[in-house]
Structure 1
């Protein structure tokens, strides 16, 4: 781990997000606002501050904090996987004297020491979106049940094949990441398959990135074009897979599914680039996290365990046995903007 210094902390603070009625000032040497004091001081640490999903989560948290009279600060890693940046952000928020930290950990294990330091200082720590390993490294987790979301995607793709034997390519995220593992496993369960099944014709890891997904899919298509189904772990990777399929004129023969529920992803379903997406609800995660922080500041009561914030299948081609909503509903409930 890189040496941490006041200079590095200042750099991390520079990416803090300020919103009306909220604060991002650093309070060096400040005491943590005590639980039960009634004064909620909430800090948010996201994986990045540019991904639309985390922008939505940050904005929702800021709005909820303002509505409930809480002070609010937001920091982020510089890139997905920036564990050191998140550690510095946690240290910075502790210096500010927050009594709750909400965090979407870049790695389920990469920031555990910093989280424990915060908890030892009396700070409530809640994971949003991504669980830690072990889960009880934080006080509570408010997130999508990612295994269930993957299972929803798989169930739809299987139904859309109408009994045909799957010929599947899989576009995974970051190897070893909990969200990737859970969605991958859930999808296979929904399809009625297991890892290593002969119906799986290939897979690629694209780290959530659209360009990497397109390159990976192009490589897979050089090996075989005899396929009828594609799993993508999130919508940017789904778009990358679609671009590779389109270049080879294969879009009409493939059922392509994804997970996220961003407004752009819902538009992709509406336009036919994706057959289905499974929507998650970052706004709900953020709001519930802030409300728990406010309650903790007032009463000292901590939430515990895993709180599932839900997921909904979005498609304009509903299928028997698969509960879903159409894209009109999806566009009313999606997060982020469209390009």
Structure 2
């Protein structure tokens, strides 16, 4: 999963937006990005299959990879991908407007990474009522059957893996934990937080938790949050981070405080920069996700549905893998060499 932050160079394919699309984007204050692959007349019903993709942002390398993979899969199937993104993580209004716009454009399927698991339900129902296949990528909806199927990381399990690793690293040392959370109310944010505490054998409110702060998955916000928390209590020995940008921010604050290398820091994402960070010893472990797999499977499902009406269903787990150069007994992990070969971004 992923969140909005300053990232490495990304690949975008710009196209002129139709006037109606541009007006809708501006009205919704959404940073709409439209990416197409395939050919033919998009307006004609006899043209290539049109597939909509709605991501949380268009700048996070995770969503850039997801979009590029969806575009490639659509092109390989002779389909057209129309990709739209919110301006920031949590831009629920922008996602609703994007769904409505894609319905008007006549897409056969919509792939979406929901910013809010409940805030888009009405728009998704309208799409489904028009016979459009709706698939969630990366993030589940609530209820889960608000979409036809979900292709995603089991984010709670990813949190469990991070928590188990940090707990094993501490051994018999009692944890003094700081939590670098995501966005309040975010589905993935809550799942990872809950899973991490489960992996640590803790519950919210436990005295072992020195503090927690929302970071929105942003490096700068995470650094500021960690600096504030360290001013209150610098006895921390373990840090949970929602994603790798938050981990980089937390590590920057720890380094400035002279705590680098003295605190067990874990994360989730599996981006190439994150794998490099683990290799460099900036944090101990990350849990890799596989956005390419999510995108390809989602696109293929829409193409199959268009051909013969077959609908996917349920939750399709696209996997999660611990990446570390410090393996621990009882925990399945891959080293950063493997991570570099399989990372994204």
Same topology, TM > 0.5: yes
Structure 2 partner of 1:278? 287
Separation (CA, whole Å) in 2 of partners of 1:83 and 1:16: 16
Q: Which runs of structure 2 are paired with 1:1-339 in the superposition (5 Å)?
A: 8-9=23-24, 11=26, 15-21=32-38, 27=43, 40-336=49-345
Question: What is the Cα deviation at residue 160 of structure 1?
Answer: 0.7
- Distance (whole Å) between structure 2 residues aligned to residue 7 and residue 165 of structure 1: 55
Answer yes or no: is the 8 Å Cα contact 1:228–1:255 preserved in 2.
yes
- How far apart, CA to CA, are the structure 2 residues paired with 1:206 and 1:90? 27
**8 A Cα contact 2:37 2:79, kept in partner:** no
- Say if 1:41 and 1:97, in contact at 8 Å, map to a contact too: yes
Residue 153 of structure 1 contacts residue 257 of structure 1 at CA under 8 Å; is this kept in 2? yes
Structure 1 residue 73: Cα displacement = 1.0
Pair 6,256 (structure 1): closer, same or farther in 2 beyond 3 Å:
closer
CA distance in 2, matches of 1:182, 1:200: 18
The alpha-carbon deviation at position 192 of structure 1 amounts to 1.0
Q: CA deviation at 1:19?
A: 4.5
- Displaced runs of 4 or more, over 6 A: none
Conserved in 1, the CA contact under 8 Å of 2:178 and 2:209? yes
Rounded to whole Å, the distance in 2 between the matches of 1:154 and 1:15 is 36
Q: How has the CA–CA distance of structure 1 residues 115 and 102 changed in structure 2, closer, same or farther, with 3 Å as cutoff?
A: same
**Mapped contact 2:37–2:81 kept (Cα < 8 A):** no
For residue 287 of structure 2, give the secondary structure of its aligned residue in structure 1: strand
**Contact residue 277 and residue 313 of structure 1 kept, 8 A:** yes
Post-superposition offset of 1:95: 1.5
C-alpha change, 1:222 and 1:301, in structure 2 (3 Å) is same
> What SS does structure 2 have at the residue aligned with 1:78?
coil
Superposed CA deviations along residues 162-181 of structure 1, whole A, max 9, x for unmatched, are: 22111111100011111011
CA distance, structure 2, for counterparts of residue 178 and residue 87 of structure 1: 17
Separation of aligned partners in 1, 2:111 and 2:48: 16
Give the C-alpha shift of residue 7 in structure 1.
6.0
Distance in 2 (CA, whole Å) between partners of 1:186 and 1:159 is 15
In structure 1, distance between residues paired with 2:190 and 2:133:
27
Whole-Å separation in 1 of the counterparts to 2:193 and 2:341: 28
| Contact 1:64–1:290 (CA under 8 A) maintained in structure 2 | yes
Segments of structure 2 that go 5 or more residues without pairing to the other structure are 1-19
Instruction: Measure how far apart 1:16 and its partner are.
Output: 3.4
What per-residue deviation string (whole Å, max 9, x for no partner) do you get for residues 14-46 of structure 1?
Answer: 8333355357x874xx76x8xxxx963211011
Task: Give, in whole Å, the separation in 2 of the partners of 1:196 and 1:83.
Answer: 30
| SS of equivalent residue, structure 2 residue 59 | coil
Offset of residue 91 of structure 1: 1.6
